[in-house]
Amino acid sequence: MKYERLTKEQFEELHQEFINFLATQSITAEEWSDIKKNKPEVAEEELDIFSDLVWEGVLKKVEYLEHISPQHMFLFYFTETEIELIKIQIKHPNIDITTKEGYDWLQKNFLEDDVEIHQATKAISDDRNKDIFALIKQGANITKGELFTYFNQLIKA
């Protein structure tokens, strides 16, 4: 398995897609019930294969990730060949940028000494999706890139 198995809830959400997946392998509902009952290792393998297919489909579409904690903001932009990073660190101990008040403070004090900003670019490894998945496993979330775009424009201004 390349990534990780989908959760029960994710399988429930993708129920129809899983049925279609089994159908592409000419596995009927009756055969699937038999496989689960009599060949659980084969059923496990099918669940893993389907999970990897879903992850591949999701990860290949990712352009932006965000990982935000009370004192740090990591904003990632992915091209086919590079990862661009904007890292924002808050030095003020009483500011929590995961709250509305803390984020408002960051917007007003972006250029102050209590805010450190770093940018970096790194080549993507041979497996772009695996790089993205590793960041998701560390707590990053897939986004549409509004924060990356906003702060990238502020930095370049």
CB 46, CB 31: distance < 8 Å: no
pLDDT single digits (tens) 121-143? 999 888 999 999 999 999 999 99
Report pLDDT for 58: 94
d(CA 106, CA 140): 20
Which residue shows structure tokens 């986004």?
Answer: 143
pLDDT of residue 110: 85
* SS3 (DSSP) at 41: helix
Q: Residues of the chain with pLDDT > 90: what percent?
A: 80
pLDDT at 87 exceeding the cut of 80: yes
How many CB atoms lie under 10 A from the CB of residue 114? 13
Q: How is residue 117 written in tokens?
A: 């900003």
Task: Give the phi and the psi of residue 69 in degrees, each rounded to 5.
Answer: -125, 175
- C-alpha distance from residue 99 to each of 65, 66, 68, 87, 96 (Å): 19, 15, 11, 18, 6
Interval 39-78: pLDDT, tens: 999 999 999 999 999 999 999 999 999 999 999 999 999 9
User: In this predicted structure, what is the pLDDT of residue 119?
Assistant: 94
